Structures are given as structure tokens and as C-alpha cells.
Amino acid sequence: MNVFITGGTSGIGLALAEYYINNGHKVGVCGRDISKINAALIEAQLQAYQLDVYTKTDLQSALNNFCQGEHLDLLIASAGHYYNELSNGPDYEECTNMLKVNMIGMINAFEAARACMHRNKKGHLVSIASVSSLLDYPKATVYTKSKRANVQMCDAYRTALAPFGIWVTAVMPGYVDTLKLRSLNNNDLSKKMFLLSCHEAVAIITNAIEKKKDVIIFPPKMKYLMTFLSVLPKWLLSLIMSKQKQHACRQQ
């Protein structure tokens, strides 16, 4: 199987790349800094491309180079950018980067892969969103809103591409123990509810891909919590989340 992963140089994306290459698949990844990849993976024939996912021409060229005229079985859009403007204050560059990476980058990846898959009338597109995308309220962060849009775009692509043999899965994980999450929290993840290891997350995601699920939300306890919060009146949800953010800021 030929697998390409955007944002595959770190975190969940890299863990997925390791899983697929260790299971005998041809794997390509892209990211802003490919030097973060373990040399052993490169030696194991992992193909890495340094680029920004919101530069569509670069992404298309990388994907064409990876495929070399062969079919593409699986594209995982794992690239993401996070900045909490409610806690840290508004920042133009950070907020626009979230829009470019989380939304435009996902569309670029899907479009580049879709063109390859359509020729063979089969393939699977996957996007790594966030469990926070279940929440829809006025004061939600740009990150949450961009990931919510991400899930909605998956739904649109699923409807459009199903007649042509291309499947689409939206992945909505809770907290996963990655270097990025640790750096954002001063290496203290003790307050992250229902935290999963990368290994656990990869097992859940790859199982959902194999079973061609439309949507996978995990872990279950986080899913139930977010589902409960999502049915609250928006004014009440905004109040609860605002107080939670204020508490988090005081703890920093």
C-alpha cells in the first residue's frame, strides 16, 4: 500500500508513518522540518519532503514524486497548527497560520491526493481533526473553529467522492502525549484528561482506517464529555469554557 502523510515529521503523523513503514508499506511524509525524523526511518525507505502544506504546488509536486505514476492508496492529512489566542492574546500571524495549515493545508492535501486516486477509482482520505471540534459556541478558539470546519469539509468530500470509490474518514482525537503537547504545557500533562499515548492513538486510528469508518472520536470518555457539552445552550457552554480558560491561565 502507498501511504502519504502530511505533518508526518512529528507527533501523531510521524507515529502513523512508523506504523505503516514497519508493516511493509511504502510511506511518504512532508513537513516544515524533516530533520526531526529519526535517521533509522529514512534508512527504512521513508520518503520525506520539506514543504508547507498551504503551498499547493509544492505539495502536489511532492505527491507526484512519491507516487511515480503508481496509485495512491491512503492520504492522511495530519499537519496542524495550534495557538490559544484566549490564553495568550490575539496574534495575527499565529491565527492566520492556523487557518492556512488547518484548513487550506487540509484541502490542498485532499485535492492533490484526490486527483491521484480518481485515476484508479479507489483510495482513502483521512484528516486528523480534534475532539474539540464537537463544540460549537461563539467564543470558541480559532483552533477549535478551524478543526470544526475541517470535519465539515471531510463530510462534504465524503459525499462528493463516495460514488468514485474514494473513502473519507475524519479523526477526532482527545489529548495525545506528543512532544508538541508537552512543549505547550511545560512538560506537565498531569491535568490533561483521558491522556493517551501515541501508540494507543495510532492503534485506534489505523483500526478506524482499516474499517473505513466515516468518523472516529476517542477516547470514549472524552467523546462522552464533549457530546454532553455540545448539547448545552450556547450561552451556557460559552460561560463554562470561559471559566475553564480563566482557570487554566491562573495555573500557568
Domains recognised in the chain with CATH numbers: 2-251 (3.40.50.720)
Run means of pLDDT, 10 residues per run, the chain, 252 residues? 96 96 96 88 88 94 92 96 82 93 97 91 96 90 94 98 96 96 92 95 98 97 94 89 62 48
pLDDT digits (tens, 9 = 90+) for 23-39: 999 999 999 999 889 87
Provide the grid cell at 237.
Answer: 457552554
User: What pLDDT score does 126 carry?
Assistant: 98
Q: How far is CA 170 from CA 7, 32, 56, 130, 227, in A?
A: 16, 23, 21, 9, 16
User: What pLDDT score does 119 carry?
Assistant: 84
Contact 27, 46 (CB under 8 A): yes
User: What pLDDT score does 45 carry?
Assistant: 85
User: What pLDDT score does 245 carry?
Assistant: 63
User: What pLDDT score does 43 carry?
Assistant: 76
Provide the grid cell at 166.
Answer: 474514494
User: What pLDDT score does 238 carry?
Assistant: 85
Backbone angles phi, psi at 29, to 5 degrees: -135, 160
User: What pLDDT score does 101 carry?
Assistant: 95
Q: Which residue has the cell 492529512?
A: 77
User: What pLDDT score does 70 carry?
Assistant: 85
What is the pTM (predicted TM-score) of this model? 0.94
d(CA 190, CA 192): 6
